Structure 1
Amino acid sequence: MASSSNTRKLLPYAGKWTTNTLSTYEEGTVPEPSLRLDLQKFWESQVIFPYSINNMVHAFGGPKPDEKNCNSNTISIFPVYKLCIPRVFISEPYNFSYIKAPNRVFRSAPSLNDQYLAWLGRVQQDRADIWQACGIYDLIQLSRTGLKYQQEMIIAALHFFESSTNTFHFECGMMTPTLLDVAAITGLSPIGDTYDPFKASDTIKFDFHNKSYSKYIMENQKTDDEVSAEEHVAFLILWLSQYVFCTQSLQVAKKYIPMAIQLHECQQFSFARLLLGCLYESMRDACEHLKKTGDGSTFLGAGPFWLLQLWLNATFHTELDLFLPEQFYDESSARQVEGTRLARLVPRMRGLSYDAVFQQYFNVFMNLKEFKPSFAPFVDRPIGPPWFVHHFPPPDSEEWITNI
């Protein structure tokens, strides 16, 4: 800004200045340099960076950082909080006994059984319209796939996770699952209000005694012709506990009662944000445990790690050498969300010891040198709900916008 005012103001400052007074248009403003190169360099050597303490404006003195400092070596440095540094960057001995059989880090992984499938089929006949209305139909169908965790793959990836930024620090750049990935994999909408358990209505009263999955199903699955509201809520609680959030207790959790009631009543909240946030939190917790395994300690990784595995399958399917078995070709062709196909992908490697499998996966992530277009598999949005696959810009339709 030009300096034409005769106003002179003594500014509080931190640093050495040629003069303590500055001519300004207004109080607290700093004159910009003219186009003359010599004056611009002089200004850059004394530029101030304002900050405020107790409503008083202060300023740090320059000089402005040299643009030569912004080179390829410095801009590639990832922001890392010391306490959250990825395990791969910590120079301490490794001890892999925690992934050696019979240890299972992810014992809370979803498991498929006939009891659940029978109850799912019964409830779906009467309540599928509700699932469609609140956008969880495709996510519920994913529970039919019986996804098997690739434990060594997940743990190898977690060695590169930096928990203060919720990103994987690969050599090709910082990467992480996003709401776009969640939408493509599960069909969940990325918009909506923040989930609030206190918004559940009190019209449905539900409680249970048996917390183990099998006994819970026996207690709450009915044989009546029609699925009642209470039975529907009971089913959703089991689904949320075992197949979505994968509770550490390996039991049905009462904390999901309000969420199940809201889903039953089609109350809209951002399920996608909640799910992704839960995954981030679970990965942060697992990474802290990883750093303590040097002494042979074991730990239980709980949470929606199925989402992480599906994201890894989608993003690095070539590097991880995954393939789709022939018996799932038809199912994959008719899929409504990407998660259906991703859950069926399996690794070609067979018969290796647990430490050899881990080493192979670790080397894959270690050697991600350059970012490839295939690392953004959903950018074209070829498969998903109508609002997801529709081309931009959207049509001028109030109804369409409302549906989104």
Structure 2
Amino acid sequence: MTSKNGVLVNPVLLPAAIMFCSPALNSFVFPKGFMTPTVEDVFALLGLPPNGIMCHPNMDKWETKKYELPNVTLTDFISLQCKSDLMSFQEECSFFLYWICKYLVNVSSTTSVAQFVPIAKNLDSNVKVALAPFFLGHFYRSMFLYSTQQKNSHHGPLWFIQLWVYSYFPKLAPSPKRSQTPHTYGQMWMLGRYVLGSISKFKNYF
């Protein structure tokens, strides 16, 4: 995920939402019309930048620094790369690569994927990368595979469906607890709307 705050998975919501998914249109077909996640939704819910350089295999063509991709499992990836207190280029790229593979894209392979190395190198160089369309492309791919191929398990950022459904259909989302401390403006709004009975105002919190 892209936050330290975990999301309680709703195991029923994902297959129920996929039932409305059209593989031909890559969108959800509801009785009232068509809906589909957009780059704007990804930016609003995850905070991933919608603009910047596009992700492609040659995006680090002019990068002179070399990165050695370790052939280890994701479980041992970080522990083997952290070698000193002083952060090196190799360690920073390894962190970004681990984050992309395990939490953002959720790859099916147990090892890090080499195709994401250029993205990690650009993030390490403080280059603004358009991660929102990159993420959305992988989301559409995983949603298509989930709705067309019957497997025991599927990988990819399918967890985004739950966040997206909750944002557009708040009645399906669990009601926040009154004692819960809001971490985002969205949680403040949900807390005021569904618990306190009125929409929260900015001045009430600051």
> When the two structures are superposed, what TM-score results if normalisation uses the length of structure 2?
0.81
8 A Cα contact 1:242 1:250, kept in partner: no
8 A Cα contact 2:166 2:173, kept in partner: no
Matches within 5 A, 1:108-257: 139=2, 142=3, 144-200=4-60, 201-211=63-73, 213-224=74-85, 226-257=86-117
Query: In the alignment, what sits opposite 2:146?
Result: 286
Compute the displacement of 1:326 (Å).
4.4
Residues 360-383 of structure 1: CA distance to partner in whole angstroms, max 9, x if unpaired?
Answer: xxxxxxxxxxxxxxxxxxxxxx9x
Aligned mates of 1:178, 1:209 — CA distance in 2: 35
Query: In the alignment, what sits opposite 2:175?
Result: 323
Unpaired segments of 5 or more residues in structure 2?
Answer: 192-201
Identity %: 25
Aligned mates of 1:330, 1:303 — CA distance in 2: 28
Query: In the alignment, what sits opposite 2:158?
Result: 305
8 A Cα contact 2:22 2:28, kept in partner: yes
8 A Cα contact 2:97 2:112, kept in partner: yes
Aligned mates of 1:326, 1:240 — CA distance in 2: 34
> When the two structures are superposed, what TM-score results if normalisation uses the length of structure 1?
0.43
Compute the displacement of 1:250 (Å).
4.0
Aligned mates of 2:143, 2:129 — CA distance in 1: 23
Residues 315-357 of structure 1: CA distance to partner in whole angstroms, max 9, x if unpaired?
Answer: 1121x151223454232xxx26x5xx49xx9xxxxxxxxxxxx
Compute the displacement of 1:218 (Å).
1.7
Unpaired segments of 5 or more residues in structure 1?
Answer: 1-109, 111-138, 293-297, 346-381, 383-404
Bigger radius of gyration among the two: 1
8 A Cα contact 1:242 1:251, kept in partner: no
8 A Cα contact 2:142 2:157, kept in partner: yes
| Structure ranking higher on relative contact order (CA contacts 8 Å, 6+ apart) | 2
8 A Cα contact 2:57 2:118, kept in partner: yes
Shift >4 Å, 4+ stretches: none
Compute the displacement of 1:147 (Å).
2.3
Amino acid at match of 2:70: F
Aligned mates of 2:107, 2:170 — CA distance in 1: 28
C-alpha root-mean-square deviation of aligned residues, in Å? Answer: 2.5
Matches within 5 A, 1:78-93: none
Compute the displacement of 1:281 (Å).
0.9
